[in-house]
Copies of this chain bind each other. A is one copy, B any other.
Amino acid sequence: MNAKNIYLSSKELEEAIVEYLARLKGFFENYQTREISTALSLGRVTGQPVYANVSSPHFNASAMDGIALDASVTFGASQRSRIRLSGDEDYIVVDTGDPIPPKYNAVVMSENLVETDHGVEISEAATPWQNIRPIGEDIVQGELIVPVFHRIRPIDIGAMLAGGVNTVKVLRKPHITIIPTGTELVLPGQPLGEGSLIEYNSHIFAGMIEEWGGTADRHKPVDDVYEDIKAALQQAVENSDMVIINAGSSAGREDFTKDIIRELGEVITHGIAIKPGKPAILGKVMGKPVVGIPGYPVSAYIVMENVIKPLIQNYLRLPEKPHREVEAVCSRRIVSSLKNKEFVRVKLGKVGDRLIAAPLSRGAGVVMSLVRADGMLVIPQNSEGVDAGERVKVRLHKDLDDIENTIVCIGSHDPILDLLANEIHCHDPALHLASAHVGSMGGITALSKGETHIAGIHLLDETSGEYNISYIRKYLSNKNIALIKLVNRIQGFMVKKGNPKNINTFSDLARNGVSFVNRQKGSGTRLLLDYKLKEQSIDPAVISGYGREEFTHMAVAAAVAFSDIDAGLGVYSAAGALGLDFIPVCNEEYDLAVPVEFLENPSIKLMLEVIGGHVFNEKVRALGGYSLERTGEIVLID
């Protein structure tokens, strides 16, 4: 083991950012502008105030279709004494937008004219300047159209062009080079060996930078070699406004970023008291910001949001926006360290009149936790966490109406839930189904706490052999719950292609040399396993891998398919998806439990329509391993 790097500090986030921005004051003050075509300036930020070069209109124009005349010739006209006007002397016909000759000062709408052989008759006097758009009615030459540091919208482009402003000085977009480092990195699409990792962080960064108004240059991955990274950084600093070095910012034996920045410039902060994202480096080389961002995608995302976004906003003079926040009820306890401000990804759902925040995976490597997140629960430094049922503030990642249009499904996992979610979204793009996989008993608990609309369950009553109903009677006796019958599904052993270990019975799992992967406690599949083991008097302790838990059928299938594990228990569709063999063990009823009050909810009604529909049924059948005799039937439980 080599000697380890240590953090310079563990600064509070706000303090670190304020200090960093202050140290970059000169960098931000030296902003550069560029003159571009107004027509191409959408989304850019003005670098100086924009004044009109011409008035709009630049002549007195008719505001109506009609005739232009001198108002005085109409004075005295009324219904009783009409005034007759001659087209040759008294007026000219004008359309909307036509110029008004200097001798005229009013327009009479064609609707108010009576045509005669040689002209028109008028029965109402005109007032001077009526129905005329005077010079500069819209824009006066020399008038301010948009101020400096203004983000240009489509309407601003129109107004500038109307005011004769055909080029506009805008702030240069900050150009940011992203340098991914790591010998293990391969580009998307390249062969993926054991130990190699697809380099995708730079693509996330580039997208974020583009959305914030900058441009990104993705450097090819650089090996973990001090001189190589140093050379890449030197070149990047020369060619861009800011540089991001991804990974190598921590304190491991191949974490060179800090030393390289220090050699070429200075490290202002190493280590911020946030989780994930702690090992960030805020540095400065040749007066420009150089930021070391940790390798784990969630850590990286949070450092991007909290460090790179303010850098770009300051560069473009765009005000920092307050976070859009909502108040929600946290669905379970979260323990957090006093040392860090923690960012917890949450799924939000409106169940009844409460907004529920369900924490997602806290793993810094779980990019899907960000894909699935509706918001971010921020636990302050100096807090030990949040209790279940506690009211919390959540920063929104989605619009609140999207969240309110989401059917929350907490409980057992089955691949057909993904299918159902897709079909619902196809029927109505405003509607979403979000499922969290916590097992059947987790679903029952969520229903009892009012934290979900529906729960996927498959719970075998060992005494009656009946599915689901007795559990609802027992655990949800104070609620009025119905069952939406979904599918009969086959549970069985997922084994490697050709079943090399010849696994056909539960006792085969206990054989020497057979390794197993389990489902988590509280899942229906785990209950099924335990029921069968007890029935057949097999001691769980002799099954190798009984203690290793996965949370979904797909995760179990993946463990069997891609590692040295021999068997797992799960559904046919998951085995089929990964090309595994499948040994059927039993049939079970997988249903959706739902409070009766929600059955009248329009989104649940649409879901029922989808479940009963031909398309969904065909797609479920195509997966294999399901039968659908009672699909869509509603069973009220007394």
Q: Chain B: which residue is nearest A139 at the CB level?
A: B368
List residues of chain B with CB within 8 A of the CB of A208: 154
Contacts A204-B158, A399-B321, A422-B148 given; does A164 touch B140 at CB 8 Å: no
CB pair B93–A1 under 8 Å, yes or no, is: yes
Contacts A63-B365, A421-B147 given; does A195 touch B98 at CB 8 Å: yes
List residues of chain B with CB within 8 A of the CB of A59: 194-195, 562-563
CB pair A368–B145 under 8 Å, yes or no, is: yes
Complex formed: what's the CA distance from A317 to B432 in Å? 13
Name the interface size band of chain A.
35 or more
Residue A513 at the chain B interface, CB threshold 8 Å: no
Complex formed: what's the CA distance from A38 to B207 in Å? 12
Contacts A134-B559, A194-B99, A254-B95 given; does A430 touch B320 at CB 8 Å: yes
Whole-angstrom distance between the Cβ of A100 and the nearest chain B Cβ: 10
> Of residues 151 to 167 in A, which have CB atoms within 8 Å of B's CB atoms?
153-159, 161-162, 164, 166
Residue A530 at the chain B interface, CB threshold 8 Å: no
Residue A113 at the chain B interface, CB threshold 8 Å: yes
Residue A253 at the chain B interface, CB threshold 8 Å: yes
Complex partner residue of A140 from B56, B370, B552, B563, CB under 8 angstroms: B552
Complex formed: what's the CA distance from A253 to B98 in Å? 13
Whole-angstrom distance between the Cβ of A524 and the nearest chain B Cβ: 19
List residues of chain B with CB within 8 A of the CB of A139: 367-368
CB pair B194–A159 under 8 Å, yes or no, is: no
Using an 8 Å CB-CB cutoff, how does the interface string of A122-165 with B read, 1 for contact, 0 for none? 00000011000111111111111111111001111111011010
Residue A567 at the chain B interface, CB threshold 8 Å: no
Choose the segment among A9-17, A184-192, A449-457, A535-543 that binds chain B (4+ C-beta atoms closer than 8 Å).
Answer: A184-192
Complex formed: what's the CA distance from A493 to B484 in Å? 83
Complex formed: what's the CA distance from A554 to B137 in Å? 11
Contacts A110-B1, A145-B371, A192-B164 given; does A366 touch B138 at CB 8 Å: yes
Complex formed: what's the CA distance from A420 to B366 in Å? 50
Complex formed: what's the CA distance from A192 to B136 in Å? 15
The CB with the most chain B CB atoms within 10 A, among A113, A197, A363, A552, is that of A197
List residues of chain B with CB within 8 A of the CB of A568: none
List residues of chain B with CB within 8 A of the CB of A421: 144, 147
CB pair B554–A143 under 8 Å, yes or no, is: yes
List residues of chain B with CB within 8 A of the CB of A61: 195
Whole-angstrom distance between the Cβ of A298 and the nearest chain B Cβ: 10
Residue A231 at the chain B interface, CB threshold 8 Å: no
Using an 8 Å CB-CB cutoff, how does the interface string of A381-405 with B read, 1 for contact, 0 for none? 0000000000000000001011001
Complex formed: what's the CA distance from A13 to B57 in Å? 30
> Of residues 72 to 93 in A, which have CB atoms within 8 Å of B's CB atoms?
93
Whole-angstrom distance between the Cβ of A244 and the nearest chain B Cβ: 14
Complex formed: what's the CA distance from A594 to B532 in Å? 82
List residues of chain B with CB within 8 A of the CB of A487: none
CB pair B137–A365 under 8 Å, yes or no, is: yes
Whole-angstrom distance between the Cβ of A99 and the nearest chain B Cβ: 4
Complex partner residue of A166 from B96, B188, B422, B432, CB under 8 angstroms: B188
> Of residues 546 to 563 in A, which have CB atoms within 8 Å of B's CB atoms?
547-548, 550, 552, 554-555, 557-559, 561-563
Residue A319 at the chain B interface, CB threshold 8 Å: yes
List residues of chain B with CB within 8 A of the CB of A39: 188, 203
CB pair A430–B207 under 8 Å, yes or no, is: no
CB pair B42–A207 under 8 Å, yes or no, is: yes
CB pair B158–A201 under 8 Å, yes or no, is: yes
Using an 8 Å CB-CB cutoff, how does the interface string of A46-68 with B read, 1 for contact, 0 for none? 00010000111111110101000
CB pair B115–A158 under 8 Å, yes or no, is: no
CB pair A559–B135 under 8 Å, yes or no, is: yes
Residue A252 at the chain B interface, CB threshold 8 Å: yes
CB pair B371–A159 under 8 Å, yes or no, is: yes
> Of residues 172 to 210 in A, which have CB atoms within 8 Å of B's CB atoms?
182, 184, 188-189, 192, 194-195, 197-198, 200-201, 203-208, 210
Residue A564 at the chain B interface, CB threshold 8 Å: yes
Whole-angstrom distance between the Cβ of A437 and the nearest chain B Cβ: 11
List residues of chain B with CB within 8 A of the CB of A159: 200, 367-368, 370-371
Complex formed: what's the CA distance from A162 to B301 in Å? 15
CB pair B198–A142 under 8 Å, yes or no, is: no
Q: Chain B: which residue is nearest A364 at the CB level?
A: B63
Whole-angstrom distance between the Cβ of A118 and the nearest chain B Cβ: 13
Using an 8 Å CB-CB cutoff, how does the interface string of A278-322 with B read, 1 for contact, 0 for none? 000000000000000001010001000000000000000111111
List residues of chain B with CB within 8 A of the CB of A562: 55, 58-59, 135-136, 141
Residue A97 at the chain B interface, CB threshold 8 Å: yes
CB pair A321–B207 under 8 Å, yes or no, is: no
Residue A4 at the chain B interface, CB threshold 8 Å: yes
Complex formed: what's the CA distance from A139 to B366 in Å? 8
Contacts A155-B204, A188-B166, A552-B140 given; does A547 touch B198 at CB 8 Å: no
Residue A117 at the chain B interface, CB threshold 8 Å: no
Whole-angstrom distance between the Cβ of A178 and the nearest chain B Cβ: 12
**28 A–B pairs (Cβ distance < 8 Å), ordered by A:** A1-B113, A1-B120, A39-B203, A49-B418, A56-B367, A59-B195, A95-B254, A96-B295, A99-B195, A135-B563, A136-B554, A137-B365, A138-B363, A139-B368, A142-B558, A145-B368, A148-B425, A149-B426, A150-B425, A153-B207, A157-B204, A158-B200, A158-B201, A159-B370, A164-B198, A166-B189, A319-B401, A319-B429
Question: What 6 pairs across the A-B complex have the smallest Cβ distances?
Answer: A154-B207, A319-B430, A161-B200, A158-B204, A142-B577, A136-B558
Please give the residue numbers on chain A whose beta carbons come within 8 Å of chain B beta carbons, in ascending order. 1, 4, 38-39, 42, 49, 54-61, 63, 65, 93, 95-99, 102, 110, 113, 115, 120, 128-129, 133-150, 153-159, 161-162, 164, 166, 182, 184, 188-189, 192, 194-195, 197-198, 200-201, 203-208, 210-211, 250, 252-254, 295, 297, 301, 317-322, 363, 365-368, 370-371, 399, 401-402, 405, 418, 421-422, 425-426, 428-430, 432, 547-548, 550, 552, 554-555, 557-559, 561-564, 574, 577-578
